[in-house]
Structure 1
Amino acid sequence: MGAMTPPQPADDDPDPRAWWPLADADDLRDELVAAWRRDGYHDLRHLTEVLRRLDELDSAGAAFERLPVLLAAWFHDAVYDGERDAEERSACWAERALDGLVDLATVDEVARLVRLTETHRPDPDDAEGCALSDADLAILASDPVRYAEYVAAVRREYAHLDDDTFAAGRAEVLHHLAAKPTLFHTAPARRRWEEPARANLRAELDRLMARVG
C-alpha cells in the first residue's frame, strides 16, 4: 500500500485533462474546463486538487469505482455561482451531458454523488461517496499557506457580502463541518487528514468568532 501524502498545492497552471476518463467525449471535457475556469476557490485548481486526492486515496488503499467518482469530481462544482442549488444544477447537467456516453446506472451514480457533495455526509458503506467527499474536503487539511489561499479565494466568491455578513455565514459553515463526527470517511483520509483539518477549522473559527462576537 502506497503512502499518502498530505494535501499539497497544485501547479500554478493546473490542467485536469489528464484525469478525464471518457475517450470519445473531448468536447464535453473542454466544456467543463471552460466552466471551471473562474475566479475564487471553486476553480480549475480545486478540480485538479480533488482529482489528485482521489489518486492518493486509491494508492493508499481506499477502494471505490473510479469512473463514476472521477466523473462526479468533474461535475460536482461545474455550476458554481454562490446560490444554494448549485449542486443540484451540476447534477442535472451531468444527467443531461452523460446520457448516451455511459450506461444509465453510471449516469445515475454520478448525479447521486454530485448531490452528495452538498452535505458531505455519505453512508459508511458508500465507498464512492466517501472517496469523493474526502477528496473534496481535503483542502481543510492543507498546510497554512494553502489554507490561507483557500480562505481568501472563498472570500472572493462572496465579494458582494460585507465582512460581517460573510464572517457570520462562514462561521456557520465551519460549525456545521466541525459538528460532524468525522470530517473524513475513508481510513487513509482519517489517518492523515483528520487532525490537521480539525486544527485548521479551530483556528479559522477562533478568528471568525472574535470578529462576530
Structure 2
Amino acid sequence: MSTTRSTVSAATVEALTHRWQTLSRHLMPTQHSSLLTQLLDAWREPQRHYHTPQHLSECLSLFDEVRDRAAHPLEVELALWLHDAVYDVRAHDNEERSAHWADQALSDAGLAPDSVRRIHDLIMATCHAAAPHTLHTPDAPLLIDIDLAILGAPVPRFAEYERQIRAEYAWVPPQLYADKRRAVLRGFLERPRIYATPLLHDRLELRARANLTRATAG
C-alpha cells in the first residue's frame, strides 16, 4: 500500500461489528451497541493514520493466533478494542484517558469489577514505559507484544507504518521529528528483548530488530 491513511472498507467495519457483538455476548451481561458505534467513530477520527481500524484489525487477527496463551482472553480482546480509543497526537495521556473510558463504559455495560480493573491495567501497560517481560499483570506481556507486532512486520508494511506515524505527526518539523522518532525506535532496539512471549519472540524478534536497525541508521 502506498497511502498513509488506512482505507476502512465496508467489509472491515462489518467484520469488526460482528466480532464486537460476539465478544459482548460472552462477556457483558448488558448489550450496548452505542459503545460499538462510539469506538468505531473514535478509531476513524481524521487525525489518525496508523491508529485506525487497520491497526485494530491487525491486533485482533494476531490475537486469534495466540488466544490460548491468555489467562483472560476475552479481557485481552476488550483491552485491544479500547487501548487506543483516545488518540490525540498532541497529548501525553492517551492511555490514561482510554483506560478511563474503558472503566466507565465497561462498568456501565455490566462487566464485573475485577475484569474492569484488569482491562484498565492492560490498557495502561500500552504506555510502553517498561519492557513487557518486567510486567507482572499476567496478560500484559501478551497484549504489548501484539500491540508492538508492527515492529516485526514485513518490510513493506513496516515502511507503510513509518509513513503513517509521520502523517500523524505532520505538524512536527522534519528534523525534530526525525530525531525524536529515532530515539523512540532506538529505545525498543536497545531492549534485551522486544517481545516477551516465546511464540511472538520467535516469530518477530529478528525481523523487528532488522526493521529498527534500518529505521535508525544514520
Task: Give the alignment's TM-score, normalised by structure 1.
Answer: 0.86
List alignment gaps of at least 5 residues for structure 1. 1-9
Cα 1:63–1:91 change in 2 (3 A) is closer
C-alpha distance in 2 between matches for 1:18 and 1:193? 29
1:155 CA displacement: 0.3
1:195 CA displacement: 0.7
Q: Amino acid of the residue matched to residue 175 of structure 2?
A: D
Q: What's 1:95 paired with?
A: 103
| 1:175 lines up with 2:177 in the alignment | no
Q: Amino acid of the residue matched to residue 22 of structure 1?
A: S
Percent identical among aligned pairs is 35
Q: What's 2:113 paired with?
A: 104
Task: Give the alignment's TM-score, normalised by structure 2.
Answer: 0.84
| 1:46 lines up with 2:55 in the alignment | yes
Asked whether the 8 Å contact 2:121–2:137 carries over to 1, the reply is no
1:99 CA displacement: 0.9
1:69 CA displacement: 0.6
Q: How does 1:188-203 map to 2 (within 5 A)?
A: 188-203=199-214
List alignment gaps of at least 5 residues for structure 2. 1-5, 26-30
Cα 1:96–1:30 change in 2 (3 A) is same
C-alpha distance in 1 between matches for 2:81 and 2:189? 26
C-alpha distance in 1 between matches for 2:44 and 2:88? 13
Higher mean C-alpha deviation, range 13-22 or range 159-168: 13-22
| 1:55 lines up with 2:64 in the alignment | yes
C-alpha distance in 2 between matches for 1:103 and 1:113? 16
Q: Please, which of 52, 55, 64 is the counterpart of residue 71 of structure 2?
A: 64
Cα 1:29–1:121 change in 2 (3 A) is farther
User: How many pairs were matched up?
Assistant: 196
C-alpha distance in 2 between matches for 1:204 and 1:28? 37
Q: Please, which of 185, 189, 197 is the counterpart of residue 186 of structure 1?
A: 197
How far does the alpha carbon of each residue in 1:125-183 deviate from its partner, in whole angstroms, 9 at most, with x for none? 54310111011001111111111110000001001011101101101111111122211
Q: Amino acid of the residue matched to residue 150 of structure 2?
A: I
C-alpha distance in 1 between matches for 2:161 and 2:71? 27
Asked whether the 8 Å contact 1:62–1:188 carries over to 2, the reply is no
